[in-house]
Amino acid sequence: MFFRISARTLFTRIFGVIIVSGFVGYLFGQTFLAVSIVSLCLLAWHYNHLFKLIQWLWQGKSIAPPQANGIWGRIYDGLYRRIRKQRLKQKQLNERIRKFRDGAEALPDAALVLSNELIILWGNKKASKFLGVRWPEDIGLRIDNLIRFPEFSKYLDDGDYNSPCLIISPINNELQLELRMMAYGSDQILLLARDISKIQRLEEMRRDFVANVSHELKTPLTVVRGYVEMVQASETALDPHWKKAFTTIESQVSRMDRLVEQLLVLSRIEHNVDADNHQEVNLSRLVLTIIEEVQWLNQDKNHIINNDIAPNISINGNEHELKSACLNLISNAIAYTPPNGIIDIRLRNDGNKIRFSVKDNGPGIKPEHVNRLTERFFRVDKSRSRNTGGSGLGLAIVKHVLNHHHGELSIESEWHLGSEFIIYFSPEIANK
């Protein structure tokens, strides 16, 4: 029930009491005394309730206000109603907080809520298990005072949270953690730490398996190739069907040898994640050298290869990996473009980035296949890949090389009109 009173009504009541008291005093010849006594009583009554209100607000233990009649009763009822409403909101808020905390505790990841100044505000139990950050004991501490890793400090200084940060757990050397930070609300940051130890071990086992199998395949392939070449070089004439058989064996051994070689290259690139071996590479000279080396691939295709290579463009990187990436793009353009095609190779500065592109007028790629081109062993046309000796590993090698060099691969293609493969190197590794 709502209670409303206007100033006019309030003053009307007060003046009404004063006028009545004055009239009674007038009858007894004591007008001023009667008005004074009534005014003092009215003032004392209000001050009495005011003191009760102050005592209840500051010292009262009960949520129920003092009992009173009249306007003070209405005031107490309004306060009590506001308190009950506030307690209901607080209860609902506590319930939401409890649900949030239950949900955060159910996460398989460590979760920390930080302020924009990286001050710890809240954390779940996994944060203590993975990062050694305890809540509420560590509230108010900066996260970089508890996680002291150079890579994490650099991650915070860079402020680029689009990619994760990989560290070893500060309290368990067997745990490898992937840290991600993202905006949380308007003035907070959410830090998530995921245990990727099993994934990393499985990935390492896969890399080791591929590398070991590839190495083991090299020896039998070399033996088979040697015997085939020895038979083909023999002075004894072979029957036509045997000659065809050995030619087929030799071509398939060559194709398998190329596949094994690319597997070894991919394995080396995957293992070589250390940036300490990077050095200044003259990318302009490297691309021109590759263009000269691939001319033998173009003997049968007779493509027109145009190049527009800006001079003296250098970057910090691994020369062998960069050569593998550029060579794969150029050799793919030569292999998959029909004879007498046109291939344009360009290298230039594009704003604060370096842009390397290989464009052809070949058959192009359907839009649904573009996003899968960098998958291992993925081939748009398997029969065409077999004819050209493709392994489906070239663009996978390019992708891994670019991951090591802060690069980005962009593919622009129109079906039946041709394709353009573009590499952008970020300014972090560019030497202007």
Q: How far apart are CA 263 and CA 396, in angstroms?
A: 10
Residues 6+ apart with CB under 8 A from 77: 3, 65
Residue 407 C-beta-side C-alpha neighbours within 13 Å: 29
Both structure tokens of 328 = 């794969």
Q: How far apart are CA 428 and CA 237, in angstroms?
A: 62
Q: Please provide the DSSP assignment of 195-211 as one string.
A: E-HHHHHHHHHHHHHHH
Q: How far apart are the first and last CA of the chain?
A: 76
pLDDT 10s per residue in the chain (432 long)? Answer: 555 666 777 778 778 888 888 888 878 888 888 888 888 988 898 888 888 888 888 887 787 888 888 778 888 888 888 888 888 998 888 888 888 777 777 778 888 999 989 999 988 888 888 888 888 888 889 998 888 888 888 888 888 888 888 888 888 888 889 999 988 888 899 999 999 888 888 877 877 777 777 778 878 888 888 888 888 787 677 778 888 888 888 888 887 887 887 777 777 777 665 555 678 899 999 999 999 988 888 888 889 999 999 998 998 888 888 998 899 899 889 988 899 999 999 999 888 889 999 999 988 888 888 888 887 777 666 545 555 555 678 888 888 888 888 889 999 988 888 899 999 988 666 654
CA nearest neighbour of 158 among 355, 428, 425, 404:
428
Q: How far apart are CA 107 and CA 224, in angstroms?
A: 55
Q: How far apart are CA 379 and CA 373, in angstroms?
A: 7
- Tell me what pLDDT residue 357 has: 93
- Tell me what pLDDT residue 125 has: 86
- Tell me what pLDDT residue 383 has: 46
Q: How far apart are CA 215 and CA 390, in angstroms?
A: 20
- Tell me what pLDDT residue 289 has: 92
**pLDDT tens-digit map of 38-53:** 889 888 988 888 888 8
What DSSP character marks residue 313? Answer: -
- Tell me what pLDDT residue 274 has: 56
Give the distance, in angstroms, between the CA of residue 284 and the centroid of all CA atoms in the same chain.
Answer: 33
What is the β-pairing status of strands 304-309 and 342-350? parallel
**pLDDT tens-digit map of 164-221:** 888 888 888 888 899 999 888 888 999 999 998 888 888 778 777 777 777 788 788 8
Which residue(s) pair with 349 in the sheet? 354
pTM recorded for the entire structure: 0.57
With contact defined as beta carbons under 8 Å apart, do 123 and 135 qualify? yes
Helix pair 31-59, 7-27: axis angle to 10 deg: 140
What DSSP character marks residue 206? Answer: H
Residue 148 C-beta-side C-alpha neighbours within 13 Å: 2
- Tell me what pLDDT residue 235 has: 66
- Tokens 């015997």 belong to residue: 227
Q: Which helix (H) or strand (E) holds 338?
A: none
- Tell me what pLDDT residue 360 has: 92
